[in-house]
Amino acid sequence: MTIPVDPQATEHPHPSEREPLPRRDPRLEQQARNRLHPEHLSALQALGRGAATPQERWMGPKGVMRRNPHVGHFIAANGRKRIDRSGRSGPVAAGAGQAAVVAKARVLPLVEIASPAFLIAVVPDMTGGRLSSHDRDVLGLARQIADADPAHQGAVLAVTFGTLREEGDAADSVGLGAAGADRWLHFADSVHDGYAPLAQLAELEAIDTRLAPRLWLLPESRTGGGERGRRLGARLLCTGDALARPSGNVYQLEGELAAIGRGELAEVNVTGRSGNGQQDLTRALTRILLCEAECAEPVEDVRHAALPLEWEAASTAHAVPDVIEDLGPVAVDPSAIALGEAEFILSAGNGIRDWDGFHRAASLLGATEGASRVAVDDGFMPRARQVGATGTWVTARVYVAVGISGAIQHLQGIQRCDKVVAINLDGGCDMVKRADLSVIGDAGAILASLCQQLEAERGAGGDAQAAGGASAARHPARHPPRLPPTRPELAPATGERRRT
C-alpha cells in the first residue's frame, strides 16, 4: 500500500527564507558591562537592558549605593565640564549651549490621623519664625513615640508662638507637617513675639488641662525650650502631677516605646547627659522631656496633615500678671559670636583683595566674619574663623560667600545654612550653583557699592532723626520727654533683661 506524501511537507525552505540564528556580540556585551564606556547607554539599549537615559544611582555588588559621576554635570562659561557636588543643579552659564539638569520636586505621601488614641505635645523653639534642625529632631522623636504601637496610634501636636516665617504650602506654612506634626496650635498674639514666659506658660497649662497630652517634648536650648519646659514642670508639680518633673538633656529612650501608647510610662526609661555633659544619667520616664539635638532622626519620607485647631487663648481670657517686662534684645558685637552660633555670616575667600573693605562691610552689615581655608592659610583670617569640614560647621540663616569658589569641604560645612548668597566672578563655580542668590562681578567693587548704599541710608535716617529732635525742641508740649520706669529693676543702663 502506497501512502501519498504531501510535496510541500518534504520541501525544504530556501536559505534566504530561514530565520537567522541568534548570534552574540562580545564587543557589545563588553560595552554594556563597562559603565564608563562612551557607548554604554547605546549598548544597553541595543541589548534591551536599559533606556537611553543615564542611570544616576545603582546598587553595587557589595550592597553599596553607587553614583554615576557623569550625571549632573554641565559646561561652564570657560568651556570646562563641572560636576555638581553640592547636591543641587543650577542653571547653565550663558552661551554654553547645553540644557540644565533640573531636579524634580519630591511629592511626599500625605498621612492623616483622624482619631488618635493619645497626643504627644511638642513646643519647638521656632527661632526666627522657622523650624531649626533641633526642632526637627524633637519632632522626629515625638513621631517615633506616636507610631510605636499601631493598635494605639498617637498624634503629634505642635504648639508655636509669635510671628512665623512662611515656608511651604498654604496649609502648612512653616513645614510642620513635613516635620511630622498632625495637629497644630498657634498663638499669634503680639505679646508672644517678645519675651513673655508667663503668657506662654498660661497657654501650655491650659493645653495640658484640656487636651491632656501623654508627653511634653521641648528642645533643650537657650532660646526658650529649656525655660518653658522647666516652668511648665514646676507649675504642674504644684498641681499634684508627680510625673511632671522635667528630664533634662535627654538624648535616648530605653524600653518599649509602644508602652507609652498604652499608658505604661513606667516601662520606659530615659537617658540624659549630666555632670556637665561628661556622664549619662538613666531615670524613669517623666511627662516632660527636654531633648538634646540629634535625639532622633527627623521625618523625611512622609508628610503629615498638621491640622490647625481652634483655641481660645488663655492669656487673653484671663489676665496674666505683668511682672516681667521685655526690654528688647541686647546689642552684641558680631565678631564676638562663635561661628557655630552665628546667624548671619560674611565669609571671604581667595577672591578678596581689599581686606579692609571686607572688614568694613562686615561691620556695617552686622555680620560675623568667616573665611575659607585658602584665606586662613594665607594669614588673612585666624584659624577660628575657618568655615568647612576642616574648620567649623555653620548653621547660619544667611551665609554670604564672597570670592569663594566652593570646594567640597567648604560646601559640606555650610550645608545646614538656610540661605546662601554668592558673590563671585565665575558664574559656573560650585558656590554659585549652591547659592540661593548669586551676584556675578568683582567682589571688592560690589562690597564697596554695598557699603556706600548702607552709609547713605543710615545718613538719611540720622538726618531725619535729628530733624525730629529739633521739632520736639520747638514744640515741647506735643513731644513730652519719655519718663523712666517707676520700678528701678526695670531700668538698666545697658538695656538687658531683668527678671523678678
Percent of the chain at pLDDT above 70?
73
Mean pLDDT of the residues in the chain = 79
Residue ranges in the chain modelled with pLDDT below 50? 87-104, 168-171, 317, 470-500
Query: What integer pLDDT is reported at residue 47 of this predicted model?
Result: 79
- The residue behind cell 504650602 is 169
CA distance 322 to 328: 16
In this predicted model, what pLDDT tens digit does every residue of 234-267 receive, in sequence order? 999 999 999 999 999 999 999 999 999 999 999 9
Which residues are within 8 A (CB) of 416 and not within 5 positions of it... i.e. 6 or more apart? 133, 393, 394, 395
Query: What integer pLDDT is reported at residue 89 of this predicted model?
Result: 45
Q: Check: CB of residue 221 under 8 Å from CB of residue 347.
A: no
Query: What integer pLDDT is reported at residue 21 of this predicted model?
Result: 73
In this predicted model, what pLDDT tens digit does every residue of 103-119 receive, in sequence order? 445 578 889 999 999 99
Q: Check: CB of residue 392 under 8 Å from CB of residue 413.
A: yes
Query: What integer pLDDT is reported at residue 25 of this predicted model?
Result: 85
CA distance 98 to 471: 62
Which one, of 318, 304, 295, lies nearest residue 156 by Cα?
304
Other beta carbons less than 10 A from residue 70's beta carbon? 15
In this predicted model, what pLDDT tens digit does every residue of 330-345 receive, in sequence order? 778 888 888 888 889 9
Query: What integer pLDDT is reported at residue 190 of this predicted model?
Result: 74
Residue 248: phi and psi, rounded to 5, are: -95, 155
